[in-house]
Amino acid sequence: MTQTQIKKLGSPSSSFQHNMDAPLPIIRKRRLRQNAGFRSMVRENTLSASDFILPMFVEENVSERAAISSLPGVYRESEQSLGNIVKDAAATGLKSIMLFGVSHNKDESGADSLHSKGLFARMIDRAKQASPETLVVADLCFCEYTDHGHCGPLTKHGDVDNDATLENLMRQAVVAAEAGADMVAPSGMMDGMVAAIREGLDQSGFEHVPIMSYATKFASCFYGPFRDAAGCGLGKGNRKTYQMDPANAREAIEEAMQDEMEGADILMVKPGMPYLDILANIRQETNLPLAIYQVSGEYAMIKSAAEKGLLDETDAMMESLLAFKRAGADIILSYFSLDAIKQIKDGYLENV
């Protein structure tokens, strides 16, 4: 661009005093921001009900649903309450749920999730029976069913045994599919988990069941309220030998590409807001659909800031969700799913 062209565009004058002869800007980005109609006309990203998967907690041996104090507005459903809640959610436009068990039958390996009568299978069956059109996603992991809280059986050194966990995952995936799960989502960050699960499913006639891999899951403090909600705090240690180091971005691409090669159908990034760069990077590397998980700590932060009057809850929710779409997400897992769908229906995006 020549000097005169730049001048015409109205480059900022270096003199402090206003110069009446200075050219006015031709390009004015504000023209298309002047009212809600223009803003929604040129909005690059949007949200719709079908973007969302609602994570839900289901506790066994309880008669009533119970509020979770660390996650205001989120409940531990009972096995009785689950059906109606899923039906109601579907009636408001929710298309998909992800189920987490709150187990009272824990052992060293999480065996309760490996048979058809355990909570893991029962809750999938219950949700599917209640609302057949709802896509039920089974989170495949063992931490909710092990007494030590880790994501698989331990070696004698106290670390998760990767390959023993793969064997169990193959079985857990089949239990999920037999119970009616529409999709499985391994969240344990074991090496080789997608290939093992694909093989397990295919051998049992479930070649049509997709795998949404938690391909890049970081060892994050933002899972704090979830561990409280699902009753899966760690007895000892941490998850840093299997979940990713929050400092690493190149390794995240390696993890995602590995899972794509192993046959993953959807790749997930988790947590959400602190990891938008990871999502945007992976978007450049793959054509698979991408999911992002706005985790419990992110939800709790927005809720508690709003409760204190520090920010507007609806605006903070919608801004964070739109940011996921902008960074490249096709699918959003969020505890805000139902609230967001309501806002979308009520025309929030047309009027903002």
Report, as residue numbers or ranges, the catalytic residues: 217, 270
**Of residues 96, 168, 187, 334, which one binds ligand PBG by CB under 6 A?**
187
Contact 299, 246 (CB under 8 A): no
> What residue ranges in 155-211 does DSSP mark as E strands?
183-186
Q: Which two tokens stand for residue 241?
A: 């030998």
Q: How far is the CB of 185 from ligand PBG (least distance, A)?
A: 9
Cβ nearer to ligand PBG, comparing 306 with 352: 306
Q: How many residues does the chain have?
A: 352
SS3 (DSSP) at 7: helix
Considering only residues 293-322, where is the footprint of ligand PBG by CB under 6 A? 295-296
Q: CA 99 to CA 86: how far, in whole Å?
A: 11
Cβ nearer to ligand PBG, comparing 298 with 349: 298
Considering only residues 277-296, where is the footprint of ligand PBG by CB under 6 A? 295-296
Task: Please work out the total of residues on this chain that contact ligand PBG, with binding judged by CB under 6 A.
Answer: 11
Cβ nearer to ligand PBG, comparing 128 with 270: 270
Tell me the angle at which helices 313-327 and 337-345 cross, rounded to the nearest 10 degrees.
90
Burial class (CB in 10 A: 0-12, 13-18, 19+), 260: buried
The b-or-e profile of 67-79 (16+ CB within 10 A means b, else e) is ebebbeebbbbbb
Q: How far is the CB of 291 from ligand PBG (least distance, A)?
A: 13
Q: How far is the CB of 25 from ligand PBG (least distance, A)?
A: 46
Burial class (CB in 10 A: 0-12, 13-18, 19+), 233: exposed
Cβ nearer to ligand PBG, comparing 300 with 349: 300
Site string for ligand PBG, 210-229 (x = CB under 6 A): -------------x--xx--
Q: How far is the CB of 311 from ligand PBG (least distance, A)?
A: 20
Cβ nearer to ligand PBG, comparing 294 with 343: 294
Cβ nearer to ligand PBG, comparing 143 with 253: 143
Considering only residues 117-156, where is the footprint of ligand PBG by CB under 6 A? 139, 141, 143, 151
The b-or-e profile of 128-164 (16+ CB within 10 A means b, else e) is bebbeebbbbbbbbbbbbbebbbbbbbeeeeebbbee
* Contact call for residue 337 and ligand PBG (CB under 6 A): no
Considering only residues 7-46, where is the footprint of ligand PBG by CB under 6 A? none
Q: How far is the CB of 118 from ligand PBG (least distance, A)?
A: 17
Name the nearest CA neighbour of 272 among 341, 331, 187, 194.
331
Residues near ligand PBG (CB under 6 A): 139, 141, 143, 151, 187-188, 223, 226-227, 295-296
